[in-house]
Amino acid sequence: MRSTKEWSGRVNGEALPPWSADDTGTEPPRSLPTDLVKPEATFRKSVDDFIVDEIPAFDASGEGEHLFLRIKKTNLTTNEAVGRICRALGVDERGAGYAGMKDKRAVATQTISVPFEVARSPDGARELDIEGVAIESVIRHRHKLKPGHLKGNRFTIVLRDLPVDEVPGVVDALECAGRHGVPNAYGPQRFGRDGNNPERALAWLAGHTAGPKDRRERRLLFSALQSELFNRVLERRQSEGTWDRPLEGDVLRKSDSGGIFLCVDEKTDGDRAARGEVSPTGPIFGAKMRWPEGKPAMIEREILAAATGSDDPFSRHHTLGEGSRRPFVLRAVELTVEKIIAEQTALRVRFVLPKGGYATTLLGFAVRLHEENGHP
């Protein structure tokens, strides 16, 4: 008989039915814990409770007309940090680049690039004194840093104010997430401060509004709609129990290389998925997105048509996003959970996520996240 670890969720002191995580690590739980079952945890109680370090995709060459700055920003958005640096250096912010946006309420280390004439010495950039920004290193490169040019992110996050009797269950749930992965949903920060960016994008694409004039804002709205539709497909696959199980016709993604291919053998590819070698993918709709076949394609077309009234609403906006595939399964590596000795109700969680993965998505598998500033 297999031993199991049970989640002893409680609401108002009442025990709820447990979910089980296989202690052998060979089978993921088929049903995921709901918010009613999960205890609440406070995160980002202080800025340094959320630390993220970007892992670069490549090393800068040391020569060229762009300057790569490795920065540590505190309690600033990426755009705010980039703006302050560009103004301090007297360069055009429109020529700046970064691999990914980092959370504001955090201590975040990342690389940005700025246009920088070859004849100009970078020494001044090394000595910048900017509130909320520390310059860790400076090096030249031939090209601007573009979105997506990173391997992933390394997180160190403190969860506080957990119910004492729930701490062991939270540890078990996080370790289960580390072994098997979790649904790779986009977090709420993807959809704007009020959460309505997908609706704004739909109104714009349908011709009900003119849409924003600023290209960056158009891309932001477009991306939010793509993300919302991915989440809807993922929710459908979760409801059918196939979010982590390949179906014939699925476009699968290799975990090591990122290569994609079509599933033609559910048994063989299912075994590979169970080992973490491949994952079914969902749609980031766009003109050049690769479509699946069979039932996966039917699900995606049905959800796209229900949301937009069309099976091809994106082709005329290909400059805002050509489309791609995103894994349904988010897998963390190097995950460790440490009890903070001085506090019986706090945990320090360390892990690495691939690019595009949300720390809140992983943590949300085990707890309901609550921020001190009132945001979920």
Instruction: Point out the residues that are catalytic.
Output: 103
Which domains are present in the chain? 32-53+151-181+331-376 (3.30.1360), 58-147 (3.30.2350.20), 188-330 (3.30.2340.10)
pLDDT at 321: 75
Length of the chain: 376
Enumerate residues 6+ apart whose C-beta is below 8 A from 349: 155, 156, 157, 158, 159, 174, 335, 336, 337, 338, 363
Which pTM value belongs to this model? 0.82
- pLDDT per residue of the chain (376 residues) written in tens, 0 to 9: 223 333 333 333 333 333 333 333 444 444 455 555 789 999 999 999 999 999 999 999 999 999 999 999 999 999 999 999 999 999 999 999 999 999 999 999 999 999 999 999 999 999 999 999 999 999 999 999 999 899 999 999 999 999 999 999 999 999 999 999 999 999 887 888 788 899 988 888 888 888 788 888 888 888 899 999 999 999 999 999 999 999 999 999 999 888 999 999 999 999 999 999 999 999 999 888 999 999 999 999 999 999 888 777 777 776 777 889 999 999 999 999 999 988 889 999 999 999 989 999 999 999 999 887 654 4
pLDDT at residue number 289 = 92
